[in-house]
Amino acid sequence: MDLPTKKVTIEKVRSMKSLIGFPDWLFEPGKLEEYYEGVKTDPKIFLENRINLLELRFNNKIKNFRKQDESGWGTNPTDVSAFYTREDNTINAFNTHVFYLRALNYGALGNILGHELTHGFDNEGRKYDKDGKLYSSFYVPEVGEYLNGNLTLSENIADNGGLKSSLRAYWKERENVEKLLGLPVFNGDQLFFLSYVNSMCSIKYLNYNKKDVHSPLHLRVKGNLQNMPEFARAWKCPLNSTMNPLPHIRCILF
């Protein structure tokens, strides 16, 4: 980045709002009941329940059209997800997995938050207030094709920046965790990466959707870690091996 771009980027990061957990009003007596007022549910009629909830959501959108949401929360209070909102420059996140050890916390939840933050500066987010290798070299045997690097570029950039940000944040609060777990073979950095990989384990992408902007999870992990010399150092991967490619092959955003 040139100096003017760096200045704008820093200003954007400093003004970014973090909405983590729940909106404050959720715990005010009667507010949740008020939010879902008029919605009828029955455990025997799933489709009707779904329609009623969708009707509530659209009615609220119409009612609040052109109104500024002072709380900044643009989601339902029951949503379990994490995402970046370009228009509002906010990170919204909810995660039920809270670990005691910082290495595990930063490796899993920290990566998610860093991923969403980086979306503010990806190929789309940068337009609102780029560089990275494409993942087109990864083959998906389920569909007999290579990944579409252009389609998944935004998510790949966010993956790359997110894990790096989380690792740096962990380093600032690094602690000796080996004795706490009774696992002397793993140091803090290794636990960080183990936590990250574990948080990305899923069977969701067994049926790969070629139109999905996200790469299959196992390839997201592989591609992301290949770009991190910190991972290669932590696990002592031989130079020029699969997980420790030569420096000129890596994509390092910052």
Closest CA to 181 of 169, 170, 195: 195
> Does residue 159 have an active-site annotation?
yes
The pLDDT, as a whole number, for residue 75 is 63
Cβ proximity of 198 and 124 under 8 Å: no
Q: In which element (H, E) is residue 145 found? A: strand 145-146
Catalytic residue among 116, 122, 155, 189: 116
Q: What are phi and psi of 167, to 5 degrees?
A: -65, -40
Q: Give the global pTM.
A: 0.53
100-109 pLDDT tens trace: 567 777 777 7
Name residues whose C-beta falls within 8 Å of residue 131's C-beta, 6 or more positions apart in sequence: 251, 253
124-175 pLDDT tens trace: 666 554 333 446 677 777 777 777 777 888 888 888 888 998 899 888 877 6
Q: Tokens at residue 4, please?
A: 């003017």
The pLDDT, as a whole number, for residue 183 is 62
Q: Which residues are paired to 241 by β-bridges?
A: 244
23-51 pLDDT tens trace: 777 778 888 788 788 788 888 888 888 88
The pLDDT, as a whole number, for residue 208 is 63
208-221 pLDDT tens trace: 667 778 888 888 89
Single-letter amino acid code for the residue at 110: G
161-202 pLDDT tens trace: 889 988 998 888 776 555 555 566 788 889 899 999 988 887
Q: Tokens at residue 56, please?
A: 């509530």
From edge to edge, which strands make up the β-sheet containing 90-93? 17-20, 90-93, 82-85
Catalytic residue among 24, 55, 122, 159: 159
Domain residue spans of the chain: 24-70, 102-249
> Does residue 116 have an active-site annotation?
yes
Check if CATH label 3.40.390.10 holds for domain 102-249.
yes
